[in-house]
Structure 1
Amino acid sequence: MSHDVHKTGDIEILYEDNHLLGITKPVNVPTQEDASGDPDLLTLLKQDLKERYNKPGNVYLGLVHRLDRPVGGAMIFAKTSKAASRLSETVRGRHFRKIYAAVVHGKLPARQGTLKHTLLKDSKTNTVTAVPKGTPGGKDAVLDYEVVGETDRYSLVHIELHTGRSHQIRVQMKEAGCPLFGDQKYGAKINKPGQQIALWSVIAALPHPVTKDEVMLQSLPAREFPWAEWPLDIYEKAFTLKI
């Protein structure tokens, strides 16, 4: 299924063949070039492919999905334009499964459920708000969640995204009354500056664009606060995907 994990520079490679590159995105690295001018993942990976395979000229690497800058975890890229267009169809057809782990403040209204909102992005401020259905520019956002661990103050939540809206999990959890630990943008009143957001892409699973075999990337957050509030076996049990 997936190949041996190895490192390229500081970036862990979870899967690689002629068509796909699956990696663990480090936290606080932008997925693609942004106004900050900081080194971005797409550029770093292209440079690495160029060096590892001694390729002249430009290297192709297609962005299929995004993770917010502060978020880490499993992420897939296309190594050919053909793979990129097929993966875009997979994403549009909702055959690309994305499962996240999140630590939120407080307790959600139910152990498990589905959250549905209409979200509107303000590009000027790079913020997203929940708005009434039918608002011009608003997009439907749907996720399923299950609480898999609790402490007095926090809940560990398994989240499966059904839509890929900007800041979706962060806004929907805030709307449910449980902002993410460390989220400065959507939980400033409850989080302290400098805290790392507790949101991690644990599983990215999709049919291979050429062979159609299931490709599954798995990544777990580092064993540090607040993730380490729960034992590893909870993660191993709760964050597996039956294919």
Structure 2
Amino acid sequence: MELEVLFEDEDVLVCYKPAGVATQTAKMTEPDMVSMIRNYRVAKGESDYVGVIHRLDQPVEGVLVFAKNAAAAAILGKELKARQFAKYYYAIVTRENIPETGVLEDYVVKDGRKNRAMVVTESNPRAKKARLSYEVVKRLDDRSLLDIHLDTGRFHQIRVQLASRTAPILGDVKYGGSRTGEPLCLCSYRLQFTHPVSEEGMDFSIKPRGREFGDFFA
């Protein structure tokens, strides 16, 4: 598998993560983005340093930024923590009457044993607030394409928030979505952040490549 680089300079590397590839994994037999970038850098005669700033779930495709040195990683990490990254997703959900626009606010917790998230009450001591906004871009039969702006970055946030409103993502069997034989229909299609050195605004977008997105982007 060849690394697809969208942008690169001395401090950052922006790339496309295919669905099915982990951002980072401890499994030696399984390829991940960190290993691919490390090999890519070494092949160019560079340091093998790879700073992980944010992650995408393994079944999700989309845009990721990595730092190429510790100083850049520290700055980007602070940006992310201060919610200065703008992250946009496309998702196909199977609910015919989902409202045209909406803001979803919940409290969620991660169940590490089951590797899934749950919506809980605010009184839960482990609860973390999750917030996103969305609009319906297009409807086809019982499927709707949503354009989602993620305000917080909780574990499986988009997946569990939509599923809790009887609008599971197509292919997301873990949260009640219909099985399609393809990866779940969720794509991080746009990422905006500030360059850690030049302080220039960075903006990267891709078109979803999952087969199920084809009807919406024909």
The TM-score bracket by the shorter chain reads: over 0.9
Unaligned runs of 5+ in 1: 1-8, 233-243
| Larger deviation, residues 115-124 vs 9-18 | 9-18
- Deviation of 1:194 (Å): 2.7
Verify the 8 A CA contact 2:170 2:179 in the aligned structure 1. Answer: no
User: 2:45 aligned with 1:54, yes or no?
Assistant: yes
Query: Would the aligned equivalents of 2:51 and 2:67 in 1 still touch at CA under 8 Å?
Result: yes
> 1:107-126 to 2 correspondence within 5 Å?
107=96, 109-126=98-115
Pairing 1:48-197 to 2, within 5 Å after superposition: 48-51=40-43, 53-55=44-46, 59-107=48-96, 109-187=98-176, 190-192=177-179, 194-197=181-184
Task: Tell me the equivalent position of 1:33.
Answer: 25
Q: Which amino acid letter does the alignment assign opposite residue 80 of structure 2?
A: V
Distance 2:113 2:29 in 1: 18
Residue pair 1:46, 1:60 contacting (<8 A) in 2 also: yes
Instruction: Give the fraction of aligned pairs with identical amino acids, expressed as a percent.
Output: 34
Q: 1: CA distance between counterparts of 2:150 and 2:6?
A: 21
Q: CA RMSD in A?
A: 1.6
Alpha carbons of structure 1 residues 22 and 46: separation in structure 2 relative to 1, 3 Å: same
Query: Residue 228 in 1 paired to residue 209 in 2?
Result: no
Cα distance, 1:223 vs structure 2: 6.6
The structural deviation recorded for 1:36 is 7.7
- Cα 1:152–1:220 change in 2 (3 A) is same
Q: 2:36 aligns with which of 31, 34, 44?
A: 44
Instruction: Give the C-alpha shift of residue 202 in structure 1.
Output: 0.5
Moved over 6 A (4+): none
2:24 corresponds to 1:18: no
Aligned residues: 218
- One-letter amino acid of the structure 2 residue matched with residue 19 of structure 1: D
Letter in 1 for 2:86: R
1:220 Cα deviation from its structure 2 partner: 1.2
Q: Which amino acid aligns with 1:217?
A: F
Q: Post-superposition shift, 1:40?
A: 1.3
One-letter identity of the residue aligned with 1:27? A
Does structure 1 retain, via aligned residues, the 8 Å contact 2:183–2:210? no
TM-score, length basis structure 1: 0.85
Per the TM alignment, residue 206 of structure 1 is displaced from its structure 2 partner at its CA by 0.3
Query: How high is the TM-score relative to the length of structure 2?
Result: 0.95
Q: Deviations over 1:83-130 (max 9, x none)?
A: 111011101111100000010101354211110011110111111100
AA of the residue aligned to 2:189: V
Q: Which amino acid aligns with 1:207?
A: T
The unaligned stretches of length 5 or more in structure 2 are none
Which amino acid letter does the alignment assign opposite residue 197 of structure 1?
L
Partner of residue 239, structure 1: none
